[in-house]
Each structure stands twice: as C-alpha cells, then as structure tokens.
C-alpha cells in the first residue's frame, strides 16, 4: 500500500487561486487615486469648496487652513478648489492625445507590419522623419508662432506621438506575422483586413494598452510643461501646469501653492504608468494561458 506524502488539499489550492486573483495593494491605491482624478475632472466644479475663479483681495497669500486647505494665491483664489477643477484640463487633453495616437498609430503600424513592401517603406520613412525632429522643441516653436492655445498644443502633440505608436506596433506585428495561426487563417480564405483587425491586432493588445497608458502620462507632463511656459492653457485657467508657473514665486510665502499642483501632477502620471504596467502583465498572462 502506497501513501501520498504530499497530498493536494482542495482548500489550499482554492486559497492559492484566490490569492492570485487579489489585486496588489499598490494597484488598489492607484485605482482609487485615478478614480478620484477622473471624478474631479467630471464633477470638479460641483464638488469644489470655493469658486476657483473668485477673487478675494482681502485674503491673498493665506496659509493652508481648514477653510483653504492649500491656501490662497496672490489674487485670493482658493488653490485647493483650482487643483480640483484643474483636473479637467489635465485629463481631457492627454486622453485625446493618447486615444488619437493609438487609433492612427495602430492603423499605420498594423498595416505596415502586415503588408510590408512599399506601404511599409513609406510609413516607416515618415516615422523616421518625425523621429529626426525634436518633438518638444517643435511643439514649443509651432505653438509659440501660432499664438499658443490648449487645443492647438493637444493636436500638435498627438501628431508628434503617432510615429512612436506606429513603429512600436509595427514591430509587434512583424513578430506575429510568421506565426502558424496567421498562416491558418490565410488558408481559410480570410481577407487581409479581417486578419489584421480580427487576428493580429488582438494579439498585440497588451503592448497597445501599456503604450497608450504611457502616452497618457507623457502627454500629461508635456502638456503641463507647455502650460508652464505659457503656451498651453491660457492665463487664469485652472490648470496644474499653469498654476505651478503662476505660483512659483510663492515658495517662501506659501509653498503648498506651487507644490500642491506639482504633487498631484506627478502622482497622476506615476499611477497611470503603474496601471499600464499592471494591465500589460495581466493581458500578457491571459494571452499565454489562452
């Protein structure tokens, strides 16, 4: 009679399965913080404790208090309310840049990687031309010459981001193209468009998701940098980058006036990056398991 010295206990295996499905604490914190930022972007004007544009010249340069958590600026405006409302411009522009670059860049990358030949040559030479240009310097010059503007900066950054997406997705498609499942669907008679959209693109989705989150974080910082230079959001706008620029001279009177928006900006970019890496790992594991 044999005795199993390492029995598999059902309750232990169930516990292992449940533990694998648990969200890491860091990811939970990132999700909560991101949800708060999105909530402020949508309902910020309704939940802000003060009117972000209301000026109170009798209470300028106030230190943080219960009534003004981040204090007030040189015009007596509540900085905490402006940080909450500023989430709208901080989220809207980078979201348009990331989604627009994903849509156009993925289309060009998948087409170039799968088709190859002349189409691949033309698209990649266009990407090489865009890579040769210093993106941030081009954005500063073009937006400065045309007079600035938030949506002008958003449009220009989206155009400058598209080549990076196209080249990255093209490389992933080139890895997928010689695989057996692509040959199998070709034998079945599927059209190239159906293969690219229905078969190849879903298999590069982890890279697409991670890169889109990364583009969002990069666009958030870049767009805030343009606003800091006075080329993005206009004067008086509740924008994080603009607030850092307007309040940079208050570091000795009220440091929170400049450090508050800067902290929220850095925290948002960091949490989006962490969520993108986590989603990439989850989607990659699911693809390998499938």
Is it the case that residue 289 has pLDDT exceeding 70? no
Query: What are the phi and psi torsion angles at 65 (to 5°)?
Result: -150, 180
Token representation of residue 201: 């693109």
Distance between CA atoms of residues 185 and 192, nearest Å: 10
> Is domain 71-289 annotated with CATH 1.10.3720.10?
yes
> Model confidence over 164-220: pLDDT tens digits?
999 999 999 999 888 888 888 888 888 888 888 888 898 898 899 999 999 999 999
> Model confidence over 118-177: pLDDT tens digits?
989 999 999 998 888 887 888 888 888 887 788 999 999 999 999 999 999 999 999 988
pTM, to two decimals? 0.85
């Amino acid at each position: 009679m044999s005795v199993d010295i390492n029995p598999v206990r059902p309750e232990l295996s169930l516990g292992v399965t449940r533990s694998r499905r648990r969200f890491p604490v860091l990811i939970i914190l990132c999700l909560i913080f991101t949800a708060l930022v999105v909530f402020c972007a949508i309902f910020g004007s309704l939940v802000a404790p003060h009117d972000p544009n209301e000026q109170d010249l009798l209470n300028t340069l106030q230190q943080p208090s219960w009534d003004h958590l981040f204090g007030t600026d040189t015009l007596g405006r509540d900085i905490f309310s402006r940080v909450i409302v500023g989430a709208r411009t901080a989220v809207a522009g980078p979201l348009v840049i990331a989604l627009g670059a994903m849509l156009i860049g993925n289309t060009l990358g998948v087409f170039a990687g799968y088709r190859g030949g002349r189409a691949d040559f033309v698209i990649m030479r266009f990407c090489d031309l865009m890579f040769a240009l210093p993106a941030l310097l081009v954005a500063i010059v073009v937006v400065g010459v045309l007079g600035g503007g938030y949506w002008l900066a958003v449009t220009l950054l989206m155009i400058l981001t598209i080549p990076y997406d196209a080249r990255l997705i093209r490389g992933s498609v080139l890895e997928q193209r010689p695989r057996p499942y692509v040959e199998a669907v070709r034998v079945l008679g599927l059209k190239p468009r159906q293969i690219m959209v229905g078969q190849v693109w879903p298999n590069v989705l982890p890279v697409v998701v991670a890169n889109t989150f990364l583009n969002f974080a990069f666009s958030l910082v870049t767009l805030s940098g343009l606003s800091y230079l006075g080329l993005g959001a206009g004067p008086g706008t509740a924008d994080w980058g603009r607030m850092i620029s307007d309040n940079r001279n208050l570091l000795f009177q009220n440091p929170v006036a400049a450090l508050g928006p800067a902290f929220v900006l850095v925290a948002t970019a960091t949490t989006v990056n962490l969520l993108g890496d986590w989603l990439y790992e989850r989607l990659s594991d699911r693809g390998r398991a499938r």
